[in-house]
């Protein structure tokens, strides 16, 4: 089954590559059959991932439909008016896509030419979440530092990802020993997937391994940020 899935995912990458180079409604409609085949392959991948995710975390019986994002872009507040995303992605967690704002979740993203990735953590934390997390870190950052310094975390993700403020956040001492963590605006783990890996039988085992290594960070952030 894995080999067949790998062959089908080639259709997904090929379609997304074409869409990237011809991002228009006319081209999309002319290639709708290719889109349906590409999406079906991605749905099959997410379905299999959910089926095997019990080894990592309890997703609460979520369905692929609840997890997969639409390919249409929201153009209401964007200067970029291209109508479609050039990737297919899903958020695995209790509530699927809705788990982004209600609990820990695992992000899976397929995009051609080495832009596929796995990620999880606080990407767009609410001000209250960020404030709560900073208070916890200011008191004792050792639990987080132990997680992100672990051998498996470092091997798979390198280090914690995300943007930081250039100066100390309001209310934080600029000379605090954990100022580098306190300046962070985002706290997440991420690893890229090259196309050969996406198209190999190793994709599913690698994804499950990476998400398992990511889980301690997500559990910590869920508790420390309050309610995630």
Task: Give me the pLDDT at residue 228, please.
Answer: 43
Task: Give me the pLDDT at residue 84, please.
Answer: 96
Residue 211 lies in domain: 2-224
Task: Give me the pLDDT at residue 8, please.
Answer: 87
Q: Among residues of the chain, what percentage have pLDDT more than 90?
A: 82
Contact 59, 53 (CB under 8 A): yes
The mean predicted confidence, pLDDT, of the chain is 92
Higher pLDDT, residue 75 or 56: 56
pLDDT at 158 > cutoff 70:
yes
The string of pLDDT tens digits covering residues 11-55 is 999 999 999 999 999 999 999 999 999 999 999 999 999 999 999
For residue 2, name the pLDDT band (cuts at 50, 70, 90).
low
Task: State mean pLDDT over 67-90.
Answer: 91
3-class secondary-structure state, position 54: helix
Range in 1-10, 77-86, 174-183, 184-193 with the lowest mean pLDDT? 1-10
pLDDT at 57 > cutoff 80:
yes
Nearest to 63 by CA among 29, 28, 90: 90
Task: State mean pLDDT over 122-141.
Answer: 93
Q: Give one DSSP letter per residue of 134-182, joined into a string.
A: HHHHHH--HHHHHHHTSHHHHHHH-S-B--B-SSPPTTS-TT-TTHHHH
Task: Give me the pLDDT at residue 5, please.
Answer: 78
Two tokens at 57? 């975390």
Taking the model in full, what pTM does it have? 0.91
For residue 167, name the pLDDT band (cuts at 50, 70, 90).
very high
Domain count, the chain: 1
CA distances from 192 to 2, 10, 32, 135, 220 (A): 20, 17, 28, 31, 23
E strand or H helix that includes residue 121: strand 116-122
pLDDT at 72 > cutoff 60:
yes
For residue 70, name the pLDDT band (cuts at 50, 70, 90).
very high
Task: Give me the pLDDT at residue 100, please.
Answer: 63
């Amino acid at each position: 089954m894995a080999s067949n899935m790998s062959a089908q995912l080639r259709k997904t990458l090929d379609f997304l590559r074409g869409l990237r180079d011809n991002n228009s409604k006319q081209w999309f409609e002319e290639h709708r059959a290719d889109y349906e085949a590409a999406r079906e392959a991605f749905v099959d991948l997410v379905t299999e991932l959910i089926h095997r995710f019990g080894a990592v975390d309890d997703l609460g019986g979520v369905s692929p439909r609840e997890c997969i994002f639409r390919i249409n872009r929201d153009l209401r507040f964007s200067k970029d008016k291209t109508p479609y995303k050039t990737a297919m992605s899903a958020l695995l967690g209790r509530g699927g896509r809705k788990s982004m704002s209600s609990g820990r979740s695992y992000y899976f993203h397929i995009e051609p030419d080495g832009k596929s990735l796995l990620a999880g953590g606080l990407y767009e934390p609410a001000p209250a979440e960020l404030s709560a997390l900073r208070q916890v870190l200011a008191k004792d950052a050792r639990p987080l530092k132990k997680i992100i310094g672990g051998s498996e975390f470092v091997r798979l993700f390198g280090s914690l990802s995300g943007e930081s403020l250039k100066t100390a956040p309001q209310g934080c001492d600029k000379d605090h020993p954990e100022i580098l963590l306190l300046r962070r605006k985002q706290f997440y783990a991420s690893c890229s997937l090259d196309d050969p890996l996406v198209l190999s039988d190793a994709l599913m085992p690698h994804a499950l391994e990476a998400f398992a290594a990511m889980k301690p960070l997500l559990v910590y952030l869920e508790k420390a940020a309050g309610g995630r």
